[in-house]
Each structure stands twice: as C-alpha cells, then as structure tokens.
Amino acid sequence: MSLLEVTNLRVRYDTPRGPVWAVDQVSFKLDAGETVALVGESGSGKSTTALAILGLVAFSGGTVETGEIWFGGKNLLALREDELRAVRASEIALVFQDATAALNPFLTIGLQIAEVLEVHRGLSRREALVAAGKALGDVGIAEPEARLASFPHELSGGQRQRALIAMSLIAKPKVVIADEPTTALDPALALLVLDLLRREREQNGAGVLLVSHDLELVASEAKRVHVMYAGRVAESADADELFAAPWHPYTAALWRARPRLDGERPKRLAAVAGAPVDPAALPTGCAFHPRCEFVVERCRRERPDLSGLLRAEGAMSLRSGRRSACFEKERLALPREEASTP
Amino acid sequence: MTHFLARRALGLALTVWIVVTLAFLMMRLVPGGPFSAERRLPAAVAANVDARYHLDWPLWRQYVQYLGPLNVDTHGLFGDRERVFGGVLAGDLGPSFRHRDYTVNQILAESLPVSLALGSLALVWSIALGTVIGVVGAARRGSKLDLWLRMGSSLGIALPSFVIAGLLVLVFALTLGWLPVAGNTSFAHFVLPSLALGAPVAAYIARLVRTGLIEALSQDYIRTAIAKGLPFSTVVRRHALRGGLLPAISYLGPAAAGVLTGSLVIERIFAIPGTGSHFVASALDRDYTLALGVTIVYSVLIYSLNALVDLAYTRLDPRIALEEL
C-alpha cells in the first residue's frame, strides 16, 4: 500500500460565473522515500490538489465534492476536523512558497516553530523552544538560539526560507507537500530548499509531493510526474520516460517552452500556443483542443480518459503505469519513421 | 522611549499653541461678542464692560495676555495686579465671560471629572463589548448570528444618541423602574447615560474588529497556522487577533477623546453637569475664554491619546519601531 493515495479527487469552487471544478478526477500515489510531482500552468489545479490533501480548500472557498485521500489506513476526507488537525504538520506537512507571506509578522520565529511541537507532541513551551533552536541550526541558520527571539522581518530572505522549512519539517512528517518551493527564490536559495527537501526524503524516508510549473526542476527531482491541465491529469509517467517522449501534446508543448541555458539562445522564449484555459468556460471535449496542433474532430466532441497505449508499446505502458489523456497519443508516442514505414 | 516621549511632548506643545492661536483668532472673527446678545447697553456701560474684560485692548495685547506667561494686566481682573505670571502658559485659563464669578479653571475642575467618569465607563464597556462582538462576527462569518450582530451594530451607528437615550430611559427608567431617569448623584445614575454614550462607539468598534479580523484571517500566514494543525481558537487568538485589532485601535484615539469630554446631547437628556454642554454653549455665547479652555482640553486629550495609540501600535506590531514614530 502506498504512503498516500489520492483517488478521483474533485474540488469545486462556486464563483459568480458558476461552479468551477478546479480539480477533476485526479488520482495518484506517493510512496515513502520518493518524490512525485504535479506539473502544470497556473490554474491547472495542482496547488488546489495539494491543499485538498490537508483539508485546506475550504480556506479559499472550495469544496471537495468527491474522492478519497488514503493515508495511514484512513481516508482523510472522511475525518472530523480535530482528527485532521492531528495529521496536519505532524504526519503531512506543507511547505509554502513565499516565506515572507507564510510566516506571521507579529510572532517570533521561535514561537512559530515551537507551537507545532506544543500542539502535536505535547511539549512545554521551553522544551519546544529548545527543539526549535536545534531545528534552526539543522537548516543552517547561524546563532540559532538568538534567532528564536527574532521576528520574521528581522531575518534575511534566505534565513526566512530556512526558518519556514525548519517549521514545516520539525515534527518529522511522513509526507511533505512542497507548493512551488523554489518559485520566486534566487538560484542559490532554490538549491538550498531542494537540498533540504532531498535530505528529508533520504534521511527520514519522507514522501515528497512536489507541486511546480518548473519542468527542469521536476525532471531532476521527481521519480513520477503527473501533468495537469484544466483540473485534470493530462499525462502520468515516470520522469525519464515523460520528457524523453511525451505522450500528450500539452506535455510536449510545455517541454518545448521551457527556458534553456544550454545551446543557442532563441530571440523569444517559446510559449504554449493559445490562451490559458478559462476554468469557468471549459471547451467541449478535450480541454486542450483549442491549443492543440494534433487536434482531430473527435477531440472537440469527446473528453479523452487517461489510458495506456492501444498498440505496440501498450503492454509496456501497462507495466510502467504510463498513461495519457489524448486520443492521438499514438501519433506522439510512436516514432514517425516507424509509423510511416509501409 | 525617552526620545519618543520628548518628541511627543514637543509636538503637543506646538500643536496646542497653533490650535490656541487659530481658535483665538477665529473666535474674534465671528460677529458679535460675549455681551452683544443681551439687551442693548448704553454706550458708556458697554465701554465700561469692554474695558473691564480688556476687549478695548488691541487684539495682539489681548492675545499676549491670554497666552501668558507674563501678566500684562493692569486692572487686576486676570489676577492680581502685582502678579508676575498669568495666562494659559501659567496654567490660568482666565475668567469666564458669561459665568460671572467663575474662572474657566473652576468650571473645568467641576465639570471635567464628571465627564471623565461617565466617558471612562462608556469606553470600558463599549471596547469590551465591541471587541467581543467583532471577534464572534468574524469567527462565525456569514452565519445567522453574524447577520444579527451586524444589524445590531449598524443600528448602533445609525441611531442618533438622543433616540438611544430616549429608548433607554423609556424602558429601563420609566417602564421597568430599575434605574433613575436623570441626575448624577450615584453610580446607578451613570448607567443609562454611559450606555447611550458608548453605543455608537461599541458598534463602530465591532465593525472595525470584524473587518480587521476577517482581513487578518485571509492572510497567507493564517493558512500556514491552520496547516500546522493548530485549533481554530488558537489561530484566531494567537495569529489573527493582533493584526485584526490594529484598525480599531487607531480609531480609539479620537473616539476616546470625544467620549471622555462628554456629549451635549447626553448631558442635556440626563441632566449631567459635564463639559460637553460647554463646548456648544461657550461658542454660541461667545464666551471667549471658556471656548478656548475646552478647545485646549480637547486638543491636549486627542494629542495624548493618539500618542498612546502609537505606543500601542509598537507593542502590537513588531515591524513598527518606536524610534521611527
């Protein structure tokens, strides 16, 4: 059994323009000691999926409509609020992206870290502060005991980011959800964050759910990748397979659009053609069809389900669990020479 | 801290001086004088009265005499002829022009404690109740209870104080007979007026706390606190309340100054001899010295309370440093 298993998750937001399903029929698994990534543009539903795991979509006005989230033999979606509270930070922790916004400006760093241990481990304030000091030292903050009494604005950006991670991981959670952990960070800081997450995975056997739009990052960090588009999973595959040969036109377009440091520098960065999808007015059929270069008539009428290949490599795809929600995946998956040979 | 206090003391002196000067000039610009409302006096009598109150002096000399601290009075009305010091800077607000035989100092010494007592009572209950209502409304946002509380506070703001006072008297004094109708001889006499005086303040605080807290609760760091598995009560109390109270606290400075100096309407209805009625009456009567006296009291109070608010801000928000204020 997997450490964390999400099945058929569906999250609805009621907007003035009608209901919007930010997450629709999303399923994936996460095992201990591995990194799984959710990738997609803004509005693809990847962050909402992450928030739903800890029951935090209500905070932004969303409702989990259907689905199951299994963790430690319990369906998190069926838990009472106080049972869910015991899971938060203690078993499943969220690392938010912006440390400046995620830390409370009115409270000291020490208190913000210590209160996690007070509420989950029953430590006294003094014991918890000692542990918090250790945790700050572990993430590489100089003079950690002195920093306990500091307020967030008294720290540098890098120290804040370190403190936020120390706070998120202090209760040794089994699952770490990192929501865009490196977005808006300078490269050195991004490396630090990834390093700390990797350490958590390797030393403590935590499963890491990486939510990101950064394909390079995902390619280097994740074992398995789920590409999301308009609230649905467009393609699921192991990272090396996925980027070697995408089975979904959206993955292919995303991969082409990533900024490159090597090779010739293009005048303009490539972009995925067309406008990002409007979640309140989804197109009929496949949500990606207006932007797709492989579009056929069927795409406009029917919505493709996630499935493996029918022909040739179908057996292999079954084994690796590789799946794509595209009617024309064969055209992408099978090398053109092979398809054109008589 | 010393630095802050020194700067505020200097600011207070400067502000009050400007206020006094402007108020002095404005009072004199208004047509009519302290004695013009009475029946027309013979020219000789009018000249005598003017001379007695130094209204025959050039304006600059009246101003210098009023401000002090040197006594330039030669008649002895503003004090002893032999006295070296006099005027506002010597702590002497002068004689009242309308309340014969009373100095402004005496009038304020009698009426201000009454207003301060009534105002303090009103402030204490309105701050406490307003905060509780605001917090409950924000925590139960969108519920039936929240709706009722919001309607209540809208009423508290919209209803004029004479309506609230009238209703209170009708119900609690005349119908139920629990409390006296008017007067100021016992604590029971202060209950109804303090309710009427504090009602709009409580309502306003409730609204400010509610919106402030809702704003604070929508911050990213609140989501972090929830994701840490803290109980919602802890999230509100520890993480949201400080930020949520800031708007209400900045409103409290001017509001407290207004409540503490009394209200004409409340004092008239409940027959309470406070300062509030002097605010209006002295200006209408052209009682120059009394009008200036209450203006000084009010500006000192509002300036000090605002300094207190700033001080409270630095205690609540660690990002605001005392030295920068």
* Interchain contact B243–A (C-beta under 8 A): yes
**Tens-digit pLDDT profile for residues B75-100:** 555 555 556 666 778 777 878 887 87
Q: How far apart are CA A177 and CA A160, in angstroms?
A: 18
Last residue of a domain, one of B92, B125, B140: B92
Q: Domain for residue B8, yes or no?
A: no
Handedness of CA A270, A272, A275, A279 (dihedral sign): negative
- Alpha-helix runs per DSSP H in chain B: 2-29, 43-52, 59-67, 104-139, 144-158, 161-168, 187-217, 220-227, 232-234, 241-260, 264-270, 276-284, 288-316
Q: Using CB atoms, which residue from B220, B234, B242 is nearest to A96?
A: B220
B178, B169 contact by CB (below 8 A): no
Percent of chain A at pLDDT > 70 equals 91
Q: State mean pLDDT over A195-205.
A: 88
A120, A82 contact by CB (below 8 A): no
Token pair of A219 as six digits? 């390619």
* Interchain contact B226–A (C-beta under 8 A): yes
Instruction: Pick the residue from chain A with its C-alpha nearest to B217.
Output: A59
Q: Which amino acid is at B192?
A: L
**Tens-digit pLDDT profile for residues B14-61:** 999 999 999 888 888 887 777 776 667 778 877 877 777 778 788 888
Last residue of a domain, one of B43, B60, B92: B92
Nearest to A71 by CA among A233, A209, A270, A184: A209
* Interchain contact B141–A (C-beta under 8 A): no
Token pair of A272 as six digits? 């995925």
Res. B247 pLDDT band, cuts 50 70 90: very high
β-pairing verdict for A323-324 and A18-30: unpaired
Q: Any idea which of A315-329, B17-31, B233-247 has the lowest mean pLDDT?
A: A315-329
Q: According to the model, what pLDDT value does residue A301 have?
A: 85
B123, B260 contact by CB (below 8 A): yes
Q: State mean pLDDT over A171-196.
A: 86
* Interchain contact B212–A (C-beta under 8 A): no
Q: Using CB atoms, which residue from B228, B231, B319 is nearest to A89?
A: B228
B224 and B202, same structural domain? yes
Of A43 and A266, the one with more pLDDT? A43
Q: Look over chain B and give the mean of its residue pLDDT values, rounded to a whole number.
A: 85
B156 and B80, same structural domain? no
* Interchain contact B315–A (C-beta under 8 A): no
Q: Residue written as tokens 């120059």?
A: B288
B283 and B227, same structural domain? yes
Q: Residue written as tokens 């440091």?
A: A261
Interface test with A, best of B218, B219, B221 (most A CBs within 10 A): B221
Of A94 and B82, the one with more pLDDT? A94
- Phi and psi based region of residue A172 (left: phi greater than 0; alpha: psi -120 to 50; beta: remaining): left
B278 and B208, same structural domain? yes
B268 and B122, same structural domain? yes
Token pair of A188 as six digits? 């050195």
Q: Using CB atoms, which residue from A86, A106, A167 is nearest to B229?
A: A86
Q: Using CB atoms, which residue from B227, B230, B319 is nearest to A115?
A: B230
B75 and B49, same structural domain? yes
B257 and B212, same structural domain? yes
Q: Using CB atoms, which residue from A106, A115, A151 is nearest to B228?
A: A115
B111 and B180, same structural domain? yes
Q: State mean pLDDT over B269-294.
A: 85
Q: Domain for residue B22, yes or no?
A: yes
Q: According to the model, what pLDDT value does residue A279 have?
A: 77
* Interchain contact A54–B (C-beta under 8 A): yes
β-pairing verdict for A35-39 and A224-229: parallel
Q: How far apart are CA A304 and CA A313, in angstroms?
A: 19
B143 and B54, same structural domain? no
Contact B220 A54 (CB under 8 A): no
Q: According to the model, what pLDDT value does residue A256 have?
A: 81
Q: Domain for residue B211, yes or no?
A: yes
Q: According to the model, what pLDDT value does residue B245 have?
A: 92
Q: State mean pLDDT over A17-26.
A: 90
Written in H, E and C, the secondary structure of B212-269 is: HHHHHHCCHHHHHHHHCCCCHHHHHHHHHHHHHHHHHHHHHHHHHHHHHCCCHHHHHH
Q: Domain for residue B285, yes or no?
A: yes
- Phi and psi based region of residue B262 (left: phi greater than 0; alpha: psi -120 to 50; beta: remaining): left
Last residue of a domain, one of B31, B61, B92: B92
Is residue A38 helix, strand or coil?
Answer: strand
Quickly count: other Cβ atoms within 10 Å of residue B149's Cβ. 21
Q: According to the model, what pLDDT value does residue A340 have?
A: 44
Contact A104 B239 (CB under 8 A): yes
Q: Structurally, how many domains does chain B consist of?
A: 2
Q: Domain for residue B269, yes or no?
A: yes
Q: Domain for residue B77, yes or no?
A: yes
Q: Chain A 162-201, CB below 8 Å of chain B: which residues?
A: 167
Q: Using CB atoms, which residue from A94, A103, A119 is nearest to B227?
A: A94
Q: State mean pLDDT over A48-56.
A: 92
Q: According to the model, what pLDDT value does residue B222 have?
A: 94
Q: Using CB atoms, which residue from A93, A105, A167 is nearest to B319?
A: A105
Contact B243 A86 (CB under 8 A): no
Q: Which of A15-19, A112-116, B70-74 has the highest mean pLDDT?
A: A112-116
B294 and B218, same structural domain? yes
B113 and B29, same structural domain? no
Chain B residues within 8 A of A106 when measuring between CB atoms? 239, 242-243, 316-318
**Residue A262, pLDDT above cutoff 50:** yes
Is residue A225 helix, strand or coil?
Answer: strand
Q: Domain for residue B197, yes or no?
A: yes
Is residue A290 helix, strand or coil?
Answer: helix
B237 and B118, same structural domain? yes
Q: How far apart are CA B83 and CA A80, in angstroms?
A: 81
Chain A residues within 8 A of B242 when measuring between CB atoms? 106
- Phi and psi based region of residue A130 (left: phi greater than 0; alpha: psi -120 to 50; beta: remaining): alpha
A53, A177 contact by CB (below 8 A): yes
Contact A107 B238 (CB under 8 A): yes
Q: According to the model, what pLDDT value does residue A133 have?
A: 94
B186, B121 contact by CB (below 8 A): no
Q: Is B210 exposed, middle or buried (0-12, 13-18, 19+ CB in 10 A)?
A: buried
Q: According to the model, what pLDDT value does residue A267 have?
A: 65
Cβ neighbours of residue B101 closer than 8 Å, sequence gap 6 or more = none
**Residue B248, pLDDT above cutoff 60:** yes
Chain A residues within 8 A of B221 when measuring between CB atoms? 101-105
CATH number of the domain that residue B284 is part of: 1.10.3720.10
* Interchain contact A160–B (C-beta under 8 A): no
* Interchain contact A52–B (C-beta under 8 A): no
Q: According to the model, what pLDDT value does residue B166 have?
A: 86
In the 8-state DSSP scheme, what is residue A5?
Answer: E
What residue numbers bound the domain in which B159 lies?
106-324
Q: State mean pLDDT over A289-310.
A: 83
Q: How far apart are CA B67 and CA A121, in angstroms?
A: 67
Q: Domain for residue B10, yes or no?
A: no
